[in-house]
Amino acid sequence: MAARPIVEIAHLTKGYRRGDQVVPVLHDITLDIPEGDFIALMGPSGSGKSTLLNLIAGIDKPDSGTLLVDGEDITRLGEAELADWRASHVGFIFQFYNLMPVLSAFENVELPLLLTSLGKQERRARAETALALVGLADRMAHFPNELSGGQQQRVAIARALVADPTIIVADEPTGDLDRRSAEEVLALLRRLNAEMGKTVIMVTHDPHAVQSARHVTHLEKGELKIAAAAAD
């Protein structure tokens, strides 16, 4: 039996205003992403893949169409509701890690949990588990500038999964890493997907990174081109 779609996109369009002109970025996108999938969004620069990821993550709003995540139409949510929704449903992994430089690895991972009702002990336990999962149990007290790029991205992954989100969105997660670190990060994403059942949606240019995904979706000039298994 096929997995239920965790993300359901129908007739989604998005454009950006430049002066008097509206530049279309996404045009009539319809796409379902099954629960537990690991999907890679590929395409040339300006194809709209990051925009599509931002819409799925609820940090941008479409001009039209519907976008359901776990059955909830997030296009109808207001700013505050959307912020709450992101806190509980989305784990973010950015190309440049986006860790708070004044917080230690532990404090960075704990950050999303501050928006939950969890007590201090529970937060500590979860953050420690997440850091142990990414192999950084011994680096909890280190600040981002004391960690390598690969280690910072692993902290970011720990931060993304610590609140047990519905989906994990990763925008070029290996774009700023060397080959070895990139492989470590991809291995972690595969583990999250395979062992923890997390739905991972990743934007990438990296052909190696694509091989970690179960499915690849191509975008070109704002339109969906191919949705295929990564092995194809």
* Residue at token pair 């479409």: 62
Site map (CB under 8 A) of another protein, residues 32-71, x = contact: ----------------------x--x-xx-----------
If one asks whether residue 81 binds another protein (CB under 8 A), the answer comes out as no
CA angle 36, 173, 133 (to 5 degrees): 60
Cβ at position 214, least distance to another protein in Å: 25
- Using DSSP, state whether 197 is helix, strand or coil: coil
8 Å CB contact between 156 and 192? no
Instruction: Provide φ and ψ at 152, rounded to 5°.
Output: -65, -40
Shortest Å distance, C-beta 115 to another protein: 5
Pick the binder of another protein from 39, 41, 86, 193 (CB under 8 A). Answer: 86
Q: How many residues bind another protein (CB under 8 A)?
A: 26
Q: Which two tokens stand for residue 194?
A: 């395979």
Distance of closest approach, residue 139 Cβ to another protein, in angstroms: 19
Angle 120-133/149-161 helices, nearest 10 degrees?
A: 130
Scanning the structure block, which residue is given the tokens 């997995």?
3
User: Segment 171-230, which members bind another protein (CB under 8 A)?
Assistant: none
- Report the C-alpha gap between 163 and 127 in whole angstroms: 9
List the x/- string, 106-145, binding to another protein by CB under 8 A.
-----xx-xx------------------------------
Tell me how far, at minimum, the Cβ of 93 lies from another protein, in Å: 11
Report the residue number, 2 or 80, with the smaller CB distance to another protein. Answer: 80
* Beta carbon nearer to another protein, 159 or 215: 159
* Residue 115 or 196 with smaller CB distance to another protein: 115
Q: How far is the CB of 69 from another protein (least distance, A)?
A: 14
CB 215 within 8 A of CB 229: yes
**Cα–Cα separations (whole angstroms), residue 177 to 139, 205, 207:** 19, 13, 14
Tell me how far, at minimum, the Cβ of 117 lies from another protein, in Å: 13
From the list 91-99, 182-190, 201-209, 216-224, the region that binds another protein by CB under 8 A is 91-99
Long-range contacts of 179-185 (CB under 8 A, 24+ apart): 179/208, 180/150, 181/148, 181/149, 181/150, 181/153, 182/150, 182/206, 182/208, 182/209, 183/208, 184/150, 184/154, 185/150, 185/153, 185/154, 185/157
Positions that interact with another protein (CB under 8 A): 54, 57, 59-60, 79-80, 83-88, 92, 94-96, 98, 100-103, 111-112, 114-115, 159
